[in-house]
Amino acid sequence: MDIQFSKEETAFRDEVRAFLKTAWTADLADRYNAPGSFAQATVEWQRRLHARGWGATGWPVVYGGTGWSVTQRFIFESERAAYGAADVSPFGLKMVGPVIYTFGSEAQKQRFLPRILSGEDWWCQGYSEPGAGSDLAALKTKAELVGDEYLVNGSKIWTTYAQYADWIFCLVRTESVARKQDGISFVLIDMKSPGIRVSPIASIDGVHSLNEVFFDDVRVPAANRIGDQGKGWSYAKSLLAHERTAITGVADSKRQLTRLLELARREISGGRPLLGDPIFQSRLADVEIELMALEYTELRVLSATAKGKGPGAESSLLKIKGTQIQQAIQELFMDLAGYYCGAVEDAPGLGKSGHDFGSEARRAYMYGRAASIYGGSNEVQKNIVAKAVLGL
């Protein structure tokens, strides 16, 4: 694989760097990292990207995307992560957006896609249910067609950032059939609809990001159904492939690894840098090698996708290894921070000690335990690979 950038690609890289320096400001970064202003900062970042014409790096030009090559997308993601700029909120741009422009009607494309691009609408994902997580096809949220509307009843769980969402894309059961993957439809629901209730879920990292969403006789126009009734499982599989590829997070893992190396070179409480420990060195080297291999695998998948080949079992491979690497890096951060992981953010002298990353490392580690579960558990992904690749 040729990894040398052409003159045009080098010029594009410089263009991205110049944009990041002006668009990802210190004020925006501070607001993004503060729970109280996170949502507003995320929307503002999307609007700045959209104003530059870079609101949807993976979308086709005809729908407002950049139409970038695989190399350009790789350069942008690498530079964004290296600079410390945030990724976009994935639910609209990387999940439901591609489903709408691939399977939706022209009216749905015109209605929803521009507002996703501009950041006007915040989306959340209504897939998992109590008792139907990894076995997603066992979902029970029911949508009964009454005239030109669906009457939706049931609940969704682990719904990330539903407290901010304007819309939710949901899998609902519209028919009871023998094969549970059949009879499922893909619908778009306005979160302001009467009968919707959002209940927060306290997670171990202490940040409110997860919710349970309840639907009690919620009326949804039939025009908000994507594609054919009962065929939602096919559309959902397409979305999940995009989601699992996005979860890989190579660019952000590279940035975290760079930061880990920088911190590991510091002297800790007058002792030698942890980077001098041979066991730590070995673990770090293992992660670096695995991350490099994952990066090349992701590039091959992106290249195939650009040629019209949708990600299949490869997305499961990327998801498994990507989340394993993320967790390995988080564990190394915890080892590096040591007992400072128990410190609170405003602990006196914490910054002077050089261990102001302790509470951050703890939160990342706690939340990161879920990485091997969300987007489809790694055990389920292994089953997909065994069936699709090994023929088992």
Percent of the chain residues past pLDDT 90, beyond the cut: 55
Listed range (29-38, 154-163, 332-341) with the worst mean pLDDT: 332-341
CATH number of the domain residue 377 falls in: 1.20.140.10
Residues in the chain: 392
d(CA 157, CA 124): 11
Q: Do 281 and 350 belong to one domain? A: yes
Check whether 30 has a pLDDT greater than 60: yes
Q: How many CB atoms lie within 10 A of CB 119?
A: 21
Structure confidence by residue, pLDDT tens digits, 97-131: 999 999 999 999 999 999 999 999 999 999 999 98
Domain coverage including residue 28: 7-88
Spatial CB neighbours of 176, under 8 Å, sequence gap ≥ 6: 183
Q: What is the domain count for the chain?
A: 3
With cut-offs at 50, 70 and 90, classify the pLDDT of residue 180: confident
Q: Looking at this protein, which amino acid is placed at residue 286?
A: D
Q: Do 384 and 268 belong to one domain? A: yes
Structure confidence by residue, pLDDT tens digits, 330-386: 999 988 888 777 765 544 433 434 456 777 888 888 888 888 887 778 787 788 778
Please say which residue of 88, 109, 136 terminates a domain: 88
Check whether 169 has a pLDDT greater than 50: yes
Burial class (CB in 10 A: 0-12, 13-18, 19+), 290: middle
Q: Is 77 annotated as catalytic? A: no
Q: Do 84 and 213 belong to one domain? A: no
- Give the per-residue pLDDT at 80: 94
Q: Do 177 and 283 belong to one domain? A: no
Q: Do 271 and 326 belong to one domain? A: yes
Listed range (8-12, 45-49, 127-131, 316-320) with the worst mean pLDDT: 316-320
DSSP string, 320-369: HHHHHHHHHHHHHHHHHHGGGGG--TT-TTTTTTT-TTHHHHHHHHHHHG
Nearest of 236, 244, 240 to residue 321 by alpha carbon: 244
Contact at 8 Å (CB) between 350 and 362? no
Q: Do 132 and 201 belong to one domain? A: yes
- Give the per-residue pLDDT at 347: 46
Q: Which two tokens stand for residue 57?
A: 């790096």
Spatial CB neighbours of 122, under 8 Å, sequence gap ≥ 6: 39, 43, 89, 91, 92, 161, 164, 165, 166, 167
d(CA 101, CA 53): 18
Structural domain contains residue 237:
no
Which of 243, 295, 298, 314 is an active site residue?
Answer: 243
- Give the per-residue pLDDT at 113: 97
Task: Say what angle helices 278-306 and 250-264 make with each other, to 10 degrees.
Answer: 160
CATH number of the domain residue 152 falls in: 2.40.110.10
Q: Which two tokens stand for residue 185?
A: 């439809």
Q: Do 136 and 172 belong to one domain? A: yes
pTM for the complete prediction? 0.82
d(CA 125, CA 92): 9
In Å, how far from its chain's centre is CA 320?
A: 14
Structural domain contains residue 51:
yes
d(CA 86, CA 47): 13
With cut-offs at 50, 70 and 90, classify the pLDDT of residue 291: very high
Q: Do 344 and 291 belong to one domain? A: yes
d(CA 114, CA 107): 12
With cut-offs at 50, 70 and 90, classify the pLDDT of residue 309: low
d(CA 161, CA 88): 13
Q: Do 377 and 258 belong to one domain? A: yes
- Give the per-residue pLDDT at 343: 63
DSSP state of 129: B
Q: Do 56 and 158 belong to one domain? A: no
Q: Do 134 and 196 belong to one domain? A: yes
